């Protein structure tokens, strides 16, 4: 049956494929904020192409292998996610500033389309 699905000139890939289950760590990470005493024990760095995003998590980040992000038909970015203890520059002392920075970024990007609630976010970024 798979041969019949892949014999088309238009599409070479079967319409149904087996895949790994989807990883969604955000519920566990959000709950860990309540259990962590509002500390920021872990730093996460998301690298998209040449651009680094530094953020904080309340729990250790699971291992995520590098993956490709397809922006459009001709633009592909390699995404790497790594975590570890907070560095001296990005210490838990920056907690209030990290939350303020994140809300400011969200407001600048989306504030004209919908209101940004002044609530704590799951992963503050700096």
- Supply the pTM of this predicted model: 0.59
CB 86 within 8 A of CB 42: yes
pLDDT digits (tens, 9 = 90+) for 51-104: 988 888 877 777 889 999 998 889 999 999 988 766 644 555 566 777 788 888
CB 123 within 8 A of CB 34: no
pLDDT at position 76 is 93
Q: Is the alpha carbon torsion for 30, 85, 50, 106 positive or negative?
A: positive
The backbone torsions φ and ψ at residue 96, rounded to the nearest 5 degrees and listed phi first, read -60, -40
Residue 112 has which token pair? 């004209």
């Amino acid at each position: 049956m798979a041969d019949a699905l892949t014999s088309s000139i238009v599409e070479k890939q079967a319409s149904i494929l087996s895949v790994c289950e989807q990883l969604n760590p955000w519920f566990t990470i959000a709950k860990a904020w309540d259990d962590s005493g509002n500390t920021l024990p872990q730093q996460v760095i998301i690298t998209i192409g040449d651009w680094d995003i530094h953020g904080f998590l309340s729990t250790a980040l699971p291992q995520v292998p590098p993956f490709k992000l397809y922006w459009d038909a001709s633009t592909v970015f390699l995404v790497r996610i790594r975590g570890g203890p907070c560095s001296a520059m990005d210490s838990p002392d920056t907690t209030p500033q990290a939350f303020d920075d994140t809300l400011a970024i969200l407001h600048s990007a989306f504030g004209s389309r919908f209101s940004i609630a002044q609530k704590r976010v799951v992963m503050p970024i700096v």
